[in-house]
């Protein structure tokens, strides 16, 4: 990308000064998180009717502020938006983010025209626009934030979202799952800066390892195509496209004024580009997990470890349906495992299905370790059940349970860190929610990706495999 443009984005994501215009208690929701975050630059509030707000001085207008302003956040009503833009031009502001809605998304001609007017003033004056009708930026490293409990730590995932509340949902779910972000951009109606601009930058951003995007429509399809193609060859791009159906397109139109476009064309383009496409919020976060919290898998051959014979059968069906392979483990390994767990009631060919009655402090961790070490295994899908605790608790051998969990974690770390194979944990919900949460936190704190079911883990890792297969095909083509 053009070095000057790259520099613009670097400064956008690390502003030295921010002014919030139209600040009031009524929109505390969007202001307080920024006030509370560790933003290191200068922060100004603007409201002509207030002397002070949230303990900060209030300026009548941005023109009354002495220092320069990099970034303006607008919470003024739509009808005042053009006047604010004129002031921003005068002040030399680089970017204005409009929380403000009531533009093209309403579909009314006068609101569409108001948005066009904003863009005309901004273009003539050299100011860029994020939005309108959006939540703007979340950049943990800069302390730029728009929700109370967004994490302060950065991470490898970038999210470009046409919907602000959607991004909030992803970030807060990510917080619970151990996903952290480099940059999140909610860009709403995309009157000026569009998904293409952000993705182009993120493709080159060294802080971003995986790009994810929620898109409804796009103004310049050709540009987006080029940008996605380039970015996806550098790092995985995961796309959730809203408005794939006629009803979805109608919703998108009244949400961000987007023309969602033909689903067939989008699908064909995404496929040609080798993007990872997902169709639900869950699949999006699952795939983020699989890309960022597991080593790159060497192949598609999975060891399934399950707590229930029936589940292990269903999981085999699901994995096979997704193009994963489930190789039978060697005679030698099976003999070793049979020295640890009785064969009656167990299946150990792969899936490895060991009834809970045979779970001891040592057995399961050892069996997993033996099977996972096989050369024919690339990935471990480990399903656990929080009800196991009760078996130990009720026999007053809870210490055995604690050692068992410790051993399992150590075995899992060995698979990941020594063997270099993804170890995916599935913890289905159950009645024992407290223990379920404890196990989830434990595995997550050790850096493992935790999924609520094996089928979601399997879908996520198959998305990862499909991406790397596409890249390999590209390289082969070049040779």
Binding positions for a copy of itself, 30-89, rule CB under 8 A: 32, 78
Write the binding mask 455 to 474 for a copy of itself: x where contact by CB under 8 A, - elsewhere. x-------------------
131, 155, 178, 243: which one binds a copy of itself (CB under 8 A): 243
434-453 positions binding a copy of itself, by CB under 8 A: 437, 452-453
Taking CB under 8 A as the rule, does residue 321 contact a copy of itself? yes
- Please list every residue from 102 through 141 that binds a copy of itself, using CB under 8 A: 102, 106, 133
Q: Is 329 in the site for a copy of itself (CB under 8 A)?
A: no
CB of 140 to a copy of itself, least distance (A): 15
- Considering only residues 163 to 202 of the shown chain, the ones binding a copy of itself according to CB under 8 A are 163-169, 172-173, 175-176
Report, in Å, the least distance between residue 350 CB and a copy of itself.
8
Measured from the CB atom, the residue of 175 and 366 that comes closer to a copy of itself is: 175
Q: Is 109 exposed, middle or buried (0-12, 13-18, 19+ CB in 10 A)?
A: exposed
Among 143, 178, 236, 351, indicate the residue that binds a copy of itself (CB under 8 A): 351
Residue 384 in the binding site for a copy of itself (CB under 8 A):
no
Say whether residue 211 binds a copy of itself (CB under 8 A): no
Residues 6+ apart with CB under 8 A from 420: 295, 298
Contact region with a copy of itself (CB under 8 A), list: 194-202, 279-287, 371-379, 413-421: 279-287
The residue within the footprint of a copy of itself, chosen from 7, 68, 245, 272 (CB under 8 A), is 245
Q: In terms of CB distance, is 395 or 474 closer to a copy of itself? A: 395
**Counting contacts by CB under 8 A, is residue 334 touching a copy of itself?**
no
Q: Segment near a copy of itself (CB under 8 A), from 88-96, 200-208, 367-375, 386-394?
A: 386-394
Query: Quick check: 256 binds a copy of itself (CB under 8 A)?
Result: yes
- Nearest distance from residue 11's CB to a copy of itself, in Å? 28
355 near a copy of itself, rule: CB under 8 A:
yes
Q: Is 313 in the site for a copy of itself (CB under 8 A)?
A: yes
Q: Is 314 in the site for a copy of itself (CB under 8 A)?
A: yes
Q: Out of 189, 196, 287, 316, which residue is the one contacting a copy of itself (CB under 8 A)?
A: 316
> If binding means CB under 8 A, how many residues of this protein chain bind a copy of itself?
88
């Amino acid at each position: 990308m053009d070095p000057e443009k790259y520099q613009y984005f670097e400064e956008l994501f690390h502003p030295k000064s921010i002014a919030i215009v139209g600040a009031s208690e009524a929109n505390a929701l969007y202001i307080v998180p920024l006030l509370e975050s560790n933003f290191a630059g200068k922060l100004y509030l603007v409201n002509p009717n207030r002397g002070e707000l949230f303990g900060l001085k209030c300026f009548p207008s941005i023109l009354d502020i002495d220092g320069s302003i990099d970034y303006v956040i607008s919470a003024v009503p739509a009808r005042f938006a053009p006047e604010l833009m004129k002031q921003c031009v005068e002040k030399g502001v680089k970017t204005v983010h409009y929380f403000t809605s009531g533009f093209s998304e309403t579909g009314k001609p006068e609101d569409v025209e108001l948005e066009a007017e904003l863009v005309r003033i901004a273009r003539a004056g050299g100011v860029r626009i994020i939005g309108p009708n959006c939540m703007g930026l979340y950049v943990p490293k800069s302390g730029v934030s728009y929700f109370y409990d967004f994490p302060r730590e950065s991470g490898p995932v970038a999210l470009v979202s046409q919907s602000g509340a959607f991004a909030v949902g992803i970030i807060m779910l990510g917080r619970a799952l151990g996903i952290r972000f480099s940059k999140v951009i909610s860009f709403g109606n995309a009157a000026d800066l569009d998904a293409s601009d952000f993705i182009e930058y993120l493709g080159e951003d060294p802080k971003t390892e995986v790009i994810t995007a929620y898109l409804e429509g796009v103004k310049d399809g050709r540009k987006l195509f080029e940008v996605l193609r380039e970015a996806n060859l550098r790092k995985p791009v995961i796309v959730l496209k809203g408005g794939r159906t006629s009803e979805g397109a109608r919703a998108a139109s009244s949400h961000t004024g987007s023309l969602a476009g033909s689903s067939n064309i989008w699908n064909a383009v995404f496929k040609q580009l080798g993007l990872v496409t997902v169709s639900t919020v869950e699949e999006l976060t699952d795939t983020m997990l699989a890309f960022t919290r597991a080593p790159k898998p060497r192949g598609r051959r999975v060891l399934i470890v399950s707590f229930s014979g029936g589940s292990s059968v269903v999981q085999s069906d699901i994995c096979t349906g997704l193009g994963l392979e489930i190789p039978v483990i060697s005679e030698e390994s099976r003999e070793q495992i049979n020295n640890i767990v009785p064969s009656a009631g167990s299946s150990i060919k792969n899936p490895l299905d060991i009834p809970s009655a045979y779970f001891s402090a040592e057995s399961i961790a050892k069996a997993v370790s033996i099977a996972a070490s096989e050369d024919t295994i690339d990935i471990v899908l480990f399903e656990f059940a929080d009800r196991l605790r009760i078996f130990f608790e009720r026999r007053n051998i809870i210490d055995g349970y604690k050692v068992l969990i410790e051993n399992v974690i150590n075995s899992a770390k060995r698979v990941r860190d020594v063997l270099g194979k993804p170890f995916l944990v599935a913890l289905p919900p159950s009645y024992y929610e407290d223990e379920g949460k404890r196990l989830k936190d434990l595995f997550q704190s050790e850096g493992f990706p935790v999924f609520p079911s094996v089928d979601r883990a399997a879908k996520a890792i198959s998305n990862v495999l499909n991406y790397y297969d596409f890249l390999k095909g590209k390289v082969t083509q070049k040779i």
